[in-house]
DNA sequence: TTGCACCTTAGAACCATTCCAATTTGTTGA
DNA sequence: TCAACAAATTGGAATGGTTCTAAGGTGCAA
């Protein structure tokens, strides 16, 4: 079975879990995110998706991205006012924002660190998620 | 010397350091941020500032906020697509975003933790700043 | 095979922000 | 003191990302 087929089935499954349908648009949008993990904006996804599905509309791309976020297949990332970016990496990770290049890199986080971070919360604060963003420059490229 | 006067002088000093002038607009915008530290948007700042300076324009509020950020007197905060929020708290701190109320709380961070967090960065990544955002619900109000 | 809920689509509308050109204000040095 | 120049403010227009709306398509379920 090809990777694409496998992803499509995993997607169909997750969508079904939420009572939603799998559609060509949703499949292609998801494939595009998995294929090039450079935190694209909705516009960039739109451009990439069009080569496989020329009649798709921008509104649909927004809809699909929103759906994927709801189904926990994709994370929406916002830092620095500007377009939302999308990330199919579901492992716990931080983002490193390179101020020179504007590129965003994923940084894996040991679960031990996440616990440590959450432990600074005073009583009465119940965090469902933690997001960590680094800003600076990357002197060498990473994966 | 009143607090307001003291703040105004600190502001004038910081502005002068960058070769900028202190103006009534900049003073009032800064006062407004210091007075109610609830991470207001530019629009909210605009509304609050108008009571003291009825002829100020929204464009000026944006300009002043940008200036204050440049002078390191204020932090601009962006999470959740939506308007930028402004925060006069300069101590290292994280933000806790209460998903029920939409309110944002400051969480002080021990410098020891910041070091720990930064230590997860692989070689080649040089972080100038770290931002930490919690999301969840606050079962009791804090400060 | 008809009905109905879900999806997609194009374009209009929206909202936060930035840009622009025209004043106003402040500062400097003649 | 004043002229001249720079810095700052203003209102409105323009922009860019996103959401809304209304209309048309698609596919499962009785």
pLDDT tens column, B98-126 = 998 889 999 999 999 999 999 999 999 99
pLDDT tens column, A93-103 = 999 999 988 89
* Mean pLDDT calculated for residue range A60-70: 98
CB contact under 8 A, B126 and A109: no
pLDDT computed for residue A94 by the predictor: 97
pLDDT tens column, B25-72 = 999 999 999 999 999 999 999 999 999 999 999 999 999 999 999 999
Q: Convert B110-129 to b/e letters by CB count within 10 Å (16 or more is b).
A: eeebbeebbebbeeebebee
The phi and psi torsions of B110 (rounded to 5 degrees) equal -65, 140
Distance B59 CA to D14 C1' (A): 14
Q: Which of B116, B129, B141 sits opposite A113 (nearest CB)?
A: B116
The answer to whether A95 touches B117, Cβ cutoff 8 Å, is: no
pLDDT computed for residue B79 by the predictor: 87
Chain B CB contacts of A97 below 8 Å: none
A84 touches strand C (CB under 7 A): no
Residue B2 banded pLDDT, cuts 50, 70, 90: confident
CB contact under 8 A, B134 and A132: no
Residue A142 banded pLDDT, cuts 50, 70, 90: low
Q: Which nucleotides of D are covered by protein (CB under 7 A)?
A: 7-12, 16-21, 27
Q: Which of A78, A123, A135 sits opposite B127 (nearest CB)?
A: A135
* Mean pLDDT calculated for residue range A76-82: 93
Measured over all CA atoms, what is the biggest interatomic distance in chain A, rounded to whole angstroms? Answer: 52
Is residue A143 scored above 60 in pLDDT?
no
Chain B residues interacting with chain A (CB cutoff of 8 angstroms): 76, 78-81, 84, 94, 96, 99, 105, 107-110, 113, 116-118, 120-142
């Amino acid at each position: 079975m090809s990777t694409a087929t496998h992803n499509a089935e995993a997607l169909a499954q997750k969508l079904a879990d939420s009572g939603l349908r799998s559609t060509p648009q949703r499949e292609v949008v998801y494939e595009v995110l998995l294929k090039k993990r450079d935190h694209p904006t909705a516009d960039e996804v739109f451009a990439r998706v069009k080569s496989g599905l020329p009649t798709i509309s921008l509104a649909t791309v927004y809809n699909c991205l929103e759906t994927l976020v709801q189904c926990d297949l994709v994370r929406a990332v916002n830092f620095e006012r500007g377009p939302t970016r999308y990330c199919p990496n579901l492992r716990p990770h931080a983002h490193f924002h390179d101020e020179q290049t504007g590129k965003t890199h994923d940084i894996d986080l040991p679960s031990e660190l996440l616990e440590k971070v959450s432990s600074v919360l005073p009583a009465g604060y119940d965090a469902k998620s933690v997001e960590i963003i680094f800003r600076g420059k990357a002197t060498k490229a990473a994966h």
